Amino acid sequence: MQRQPERELKKRGRFFKWTAIATLWFLALFVTSIAATPVWAQTGLETAQDISVNVAEAAGVNAQTDLVTIIGRIINIALGFVGVILLVILIYAGYEYMTAGGDGEKVKKAVTRIRNAIIGLIIIAASFAITNWILSMLAGAVTGTGLFGGGATTQGGFGQWGNSGCLGQSGIVYHYPEPGQKDVPRNTAIAITFSEAVDKASFINGWSESTPTVTDLNADMVKIHPLNNPKDNLAPNKARVMVSANGKIVVIKPNEPLGNAQQPVYYEIALDGGIKNASGTAMCGDFKSGYSWSFQVSTKIDNTPPQVLNYFPTPGIWARNVVTQINFSEPMLPISVSGFYKEGAPSNFQNLLAQSDDGKTVKIVDGEWRVSNGYRTAEFATTDECGTNSCLMKMYCFPASTTMAMTVRAAQVTDNPPQAAEAGPFGFDGAVDMAGNSLDGDRNSTAVGPDQDNVKFGFKTSEEIRISSPVIGATDPEVNPGKVRGEVALDKNVDVTWQKDSLLLMSSLDNASVQMRAKGPKESDPNTWSWYTKAIQLNAKDEEASFGEELSRTKMTIYHRPFLPSDMPKNNDVWGSLNIYAPVLRHKIMDVYQNCFNPASSDLQNTGSVKEGTPNLCNEAQKSVDCWKSDAWLPKPE
């Protein structure tokens, strides 16, 4: 039998061991929690203001730090202070226990203090974990990475989408970077497409008819800043602005890369509600508070040159009302792939060329190169009017019985390829991507300039003018998935795959031709609902077509702010409980022959006829009313 002192010593040893483990565990958790506390210190251009901001952030007292971070620091400091007190009590109680000398009363008091201190430390540790989890969710609501996922903006508050209604519903057709986009290169440009020509003075500081060459950003109307630091806006001389030839696309190029090389940074762009179109009316209509969106800038610089992904027409003989379409592998800088050519004009766009050869004369054809489809598509239409389509919209044709030659020019490169050399103020003499990388025309993953990297293709025209409307082949999701609360995921985009040989004109897919309506008890604020449209061209295998492949048909996608879930019906009020979303494809959608879409015609019907008074196709049945009002959709309570 062991003697009492030996048993007591072993007991104390075990107790001291577990006490030490608990103490070390708390210290590790404490240090980890402090290290993990979100600070969101951003680095930017090294101006005096930036240096002072960075010094303040390093000290932890930045006056511009967001409220969530400030609250988090205060709570963590308070919890840490209490934790240190408990840790001192624990150590003191351990000392009392080890020096009790067999005194039962002292041992009992020491054990009680140790037990209470450990319980307190566990509570503090749990408080650290819970506090940091809640703060990370709140931070996510601000940065677009928390409970509600990407794309959230600050104006709408926790879990809302802020001032987004101008995209789709009103004046904005598309922009790059997209809402909530991640891993955007630091050296990206920013581009915004509007439905009408813009007032240049709304975007360019000091612009007027007498000062047309200025390019500084109008920082009063366009605010670009880290999402957590809304006061740290790019100054006018920190970004250059150019408006496209048609006046509808604004391109903003920061003079220095955004973000930093250490960690991704969320940025926000806020357009003031006072921004106007060229006629002087508000660009965003009823959305007085303007428009804003956020995106994540990565730590990387983009040094990958763009390529031509596919093109149309491929070699052959085509009807003369065909439109030339070039699809790129990534978004292109809009001003480098869009513009006008008119013989004899003092300044003509020649980065992309359409040349005709009738056997006697080779000449550049007058017309317009338009960029669309997420800035991945450039299309050329002539100025030679040759009739109207079935919607009485004007059509434009190439010369008949002519050989056409198309050229996509690569830009001259700098001493640091694939970066292109600027030709004039913020211009390029060839096609470049959003980061300013010149075209890789020969598809060898390098860019060396126009001598090697120009892309050329050709075709012949006939005397025919093709009249045949594009036809829908399939939609996803279909009308009414079958249950009141739906079987459609809240982030499910709307896909429309067109019939074989229905190749769409990408520049026709704007917010006048493609709409997405939202209606329901939760969709009471139109300012939060937004959408935009992009498309790809498919080959015969229904895969995105590669260079030189024949194009078969188009798959278009409507991207949107997440749907909101419907509640269960109350008092048998089925329709009053539903959030209903209705894609609307209008006749202004056109194919590459400039023929308009006939909304009553579908491949699913196996008929080319159009019945009077039946404008909508609802689950393979023509209806004279909106699908959600028809018997094609009869929801039943679950």
The predicted-structure confidence for 337-365, as pLDDT tens digits, reads as follows 999 999 999 889 999 999 999 888 899 99
DSSP designation for 347: S
The pLDDT of residue 505: 98
Task: Report d(CA 112, CA 94) in Å as an integer.
Answer: 11
> Does residue 257 have a cis bond before it (omega within 30 degrees)?
no
The pLDDT of residue 568: 76
* CA end-to-end distance (rounded Å), the chain: 73
Q: How far is CA 388 from CA 318, 319, 394, 467, in A?
A: 18, 15, 4, 10
Q: How far is CA 34 from CA 27, 86, 93, 131, 133, in A?
A: 11, 17, 26, 11, 13
- Mean pLDDT, to the nearest integer, of 200-213? 94
Strands 317-318 and 455-461: parallel
Task: Report d(CA 637, CA 570) in Å as an integer.
Answer: 10
- Taking each helix axis from N to C end, the angle separating 67-98 and 4-36, rounded to the nearest 10 degrees, works out to 170
CB atoms within 10 A of CB 162: 23
The pLDDT of residue 405: 97
The predicted-structure confidence for 308-335, as pLDDT tens digits, reads as follows 999 999 999 999 999 999 999 999 999 9
Does position 8 have pLDDT exceeding 60, yes or no? Answer: no
Task: Report d(CA 341, CA 100) in Å as an integer.
Answer: 97
Dihedral of CA 137/142/144/145: which sign? negative
The pLDDT of residue 618: 60
Does position 563 have pLDDT exceeding 70, yes or no? Answer: yes
Identify which has the larger pLDDT, 527 or 558. Answer: 558
The pLDDT of residue 485: 53
The answer to whether the beta carbons of residues 414 and 420 sit under 8 Å apart is yes
Please report the beta strands in 499-552, taking only residues with DSSP state E, as ranges in sequence order: 514-519, 531-538
Does position 465 have pLDDT exceeding 90, yes or no? Answer: yes
Would you give the distance in Å from CA 529 to the centre of its chain? 15
DSSP designation for 38: -
Please report the beta strands in 213-307, taking only residues with DSSP state E, as ranges in sequence order: 222-226, 239-243, 249-254, 265-271, 291-297
The predicted-structure confidence for 238-253, as pLDDT tens digits, reads as follows 999 999 999 999 999 9
The answer to whether the beta carbons of residues 83 and 124 sit under 8 Å apart is yes
Identify which has the larger pLDDT, 180 or 30. Answer: 180
Task: Report d(CA 283, CA 275) in Å as an integer.
Answer: 6
Question: To the nearest whole number, what is the mean pLDDT of the chain?
Answer: 81
The pLDDT of residue 566: 83
Q: How confident is the model at residue 120 (pLDDT cuts 50, 70, 90)?
A: confident
Dihedral pair phi/psi, residue 105, rounded to 5°: -65, -45
Our separate counts of H helices and E strands in the chain read 7, 27
The pLDDT of residue 67: 52
Task: Report d(CA 400, CA 382) in Å as an integer.
Answer: 12
The pLDDT of residue 64: 39
DSSP designation for 244: -
Would you give the distance in Å from CA 261 to the centre of its chain? 21
